[in-house]
Each structure stands twice: as structure tokens, then as C-alpha cells.
Amino acid sequence: MILDTRTRYLQIAFNYDLGLVKRVLPTIPHSERILIEAGTPFIKQEGGRGINTIARIWPGTVVADLKVADGAFGEVRLARRAGARAATVLGNSPTETLDIFVDSCEQLGMASMIDMVGVEDPLGVVMRMRRPPEVVVLHRGRDEEGTRGKVIQYRHVNRVRSKFNVLISAAGGVDLREARSAIFNGASIVVVNLVHPGDPWEGICTEEDVAAMAATFLETIE
């Protein structure tokens, strides 16, 4: 495994452009407990070059949030060549895709993460696979954050963990309060977005002292 099941991690997601990465990422002190994510919008804008830039700046684990839906081997290989050490696949992808994704990640020395955004039964998804991923991501989607009653479904933590020795990641509108709740409910990874002022999402404001906020999050989830 790439990640330690006994460790609690902070995953910081960059979803904008290379300019923000170059300005903010060098200010964050390296920690084995911090994962840096090349977010889906960032990858769509900056491509493999964007992942590679993050990997050259950050000496730790880089997560490529590919949200693979098909063609798993090719996408995982692309991310690894760019410098990523972890990647994501959509949980509602065909089981064949999920199996190929997990196998490809293992072959290339990467952590496999299944993003369960929009999935009603995460355990059922993993049960149909040949073997589990390294990480199951319980994800409240960006478009769901403003919907009353839409929450990260922590009830799935114990269901998944009762069958599989995997890390659970909590993503979607995570602030300090949600981070505490995630850890209390058994998550090992909390995913926090960097957000511009005025954006309608929760996370760490890009105009704040991001390094100081990261330290606060690490203390919160200790």
C-alpha cells in the first residue's frame, strides 16, 4: 500500500490553474500527512503538464483526480508518467473498469481511489470487484454542497470497513467542523478544496495563509 492505514491525512485540492499552484504550493511545508491533489477542473485545464508541475514542486504524494470512467489503464499510465502517486476512478464506472484501474495502479506503484460521488451503495460497488481499492472516497459533489440535506454519507464507513481493510476519504464541502466530523466517523483522509473568495464552496480560501490553515487542519484531524 502507498498510504498507511494508521495515519490520518489531509488532502489539499488545487482546482484552478498553474498560477495558483506556483504561488501557493511552495508555501506549504512538506509533511507525509499531506496529499496534494491535482483536481479534475485543474487537469482538464492544464493536462499532464499541470500534474507534472505539482509533482516537481511537491516531494510527497500527488493525487490525480482523473475520475476515470473508461480506458483505465491508459489514464492511470498518463497520470503516473506525469508524476502522480495516486488516482481516482468513478464508482459508477463498469466493474471491468474498476478492476483494471486497481490492477493498473498496483502495477505502477500508485494508490487506487474509488470516488463514490452519486453512488447509493459504495459497499455493493466494492463487493462486485475482484479486489478492493486502497481508498474509498465518500464524496458529496460540488454541485450538491448547496442542497439542504445533502451530506457526506458517513453511515457507509462501518459498512465498508466491516468487509474490507481500506482507507476512507471524506470529500465535498469540508471545513474544519466537517473535518472533525469525518475523523470522528472513521475517515482516514479529509479532502479540502482551495477556493477563491466569493466562490460558493467550502474549503481554504486562496487569500488566507494556506500553510497556516493546513497546519490547523492537521492538528484538527490528529
Distance CA 102, CA 173 (A): 27
pLDDT at 143: 67
pLDDT at 146: 67
pLDDT at 151: 81
Max Cα-Cα span within the chain: 44
Average pLDDT of the segment spanning 163-185 = 95
- The identity of residue 153, as a single letter, is Q
* pLDDT, tens digit, 9 for 90 and up, residues 60-81: 999 999 999 999 999 999 999 9
Radius of gyration of the chain (CA): 16
Chain CA centroid to CA 116, Å: 11
CATH of 9-220, one of 3.30.2290.10, 1.10.1740.110, 3.40.50.970, 3.20.20.70: 3.20.20.70
**Dihedral Cα 185, 187, 192, 198, nearest 10 deg:** -30
* pLDDT, tens digit, 9 for 90 and up, residues 114-171: 999 999 999 999 999 999 999 999 998 776 776 776 788 999 999 999 999 999 999 9
Residue among 152, 148, 76 at smallest CA distance from 116: 152
* Domain locations along the chain: 9-220
Does pLDDT of 176 surpass 90? yes
Does pLDDT of 46 surpass 90? yes
For the chain, the average pLDDT equals 95
